[in-house]
Structure 1
């Protein structure tokens, strides 16, 4: 665990069951007070498809033996699995004077900044949240706000089995290509990316919260 001003970083070792983490996020959000720290949870999940509130069943093409969980975040269907870096952002938006769009922009910018450290040019899109490299999606975002506080967050493809993405229409977008960092650079280290991502998240959240 790391603590910076107004922000606590929690690292979870091993693959974390999605349903248990989701429930823990809801519990933290429901019981937090105006004095509770904002937190970022950094982890990886075993293989799972999650279907957001805007999701349509037809976008789950062939789940096979991978479980599908209906969740309360925005967005549509995505895949989580080993080798994908997930950061859940539990932030008091009112206290930081942030809107949801501000937070989405900050999360996207953090990933763009990380990729820039690897000399990779990335961008966001106004029509589809996330981060893209040459029109291929490398990171997905989905949030829920309750009691003025956010939970859920971002998923950053680092070094993973990409085949499950072909079993869905990621984020409800037909024909979109997914990409991972391992395809763009040699010898990628999830731990190195994790450190860079946490640093960038801390930077952008401090800037947005001013």
Structure 2
């Protein structure tokens, strides 16, 4: 898999580039992994509901064709877009999502953080009271406040076209988190969004990108 570092790039242009790459690829096209940051932008998934954008203000809202609801991208966040032929890898969608989440979990583990999956809510979460502990997330979840004590540190949204995947994952490293309060992140009212910095991890964008990309390549190689 060829890894490309794109720097800080416009979201819409990068989205268009992924679509063009996927539309043009053949069975012989090598897979690629694009690493980047985006200027501040809210992105709305294909089934996204407008009411989950509470107050966009001056931040643009871009409609896209990935799965999921609204999320925020901004500086200080590692965006990883695997452009992969899932048929060639022998992966179905559920296994692909599992591997993307596993790469994120192992990246967090390398920083001493315990990440968690939540059934039906793609992405990776942490226990806000004890991000490094090995216990489960707070249970049982209070139906009046189901996200109490839980923070989302990484988001996931994919698109599969002709057996090939694009879009990908976003790992929050050290960023301005305030725009997340202007949406219901991934459609969940009351869900806190955190980054590595706020849970005590001292690292930078390049180191986090190196760690995540190495694990993605490992989990998405033949």
SS of residue paired to 1:192: helix
Distance 1:56 1:204 in 2: 32
SS of residue paired to 2:192: coil
Among 51, 64, 71, the alignment partner of 2:44 is 51
Find the counterpart in structure 1 of residue 132 from structure 2: none
**1:172 matches 2:165:** no
Distance 1:163 1:11 in 2: 26
Q: How does 1:1-210 map to 2 (within 5 A)?
A: 7-13=1-7, 15-134=8-127, 135-206=150-221, 209=222
What's the CA shift for 1:127? 1.5
What's the CA shift for 1:186? 4.5
CA contact (8 A) 2:35 2:81 kept: yes
Distance 1:26 1:184 in 2: 35
SS of residue paired to 2:51: helix
Distance 1:80 1:186 in 2: 20
Find the counterpart in structure 1 of residue 144 from structure 2: none
Distance 1:190 1:199 in 2: 14
SS of residue paired to 1:91: strand
What's the CA shift for 1:185? 2.5
Runs of 4+ residues over 3 Å off in structure 1: none
What's the CA shift for 1:158? 0.5
Distance 2:201 2:163 in 1: 41
CA contact (8 A) 2:184 2:191 kept: yes
TM-score, normalising length: structure 2: 0.88
Distance 1:155 1:130 in 2: 9
Structure 1 unmatched ranges of 5 or more: 1-6
Distance 1:70 1:130, change over 3 A: same
Distance 1:102 1:57 in 2: 30
Q: CA RMSD in A?
A: 0.9
What's the CA shift for 1:147? 1.1
Aligned pairs, how many? 200
Distance 1:147 1:128 in 2: 25
Distance 2:86 2:97 in 1: 12
What's the CA shift for 1:139? 0.4
Structure 2 unmatched ranges of 5 or more: 128-149
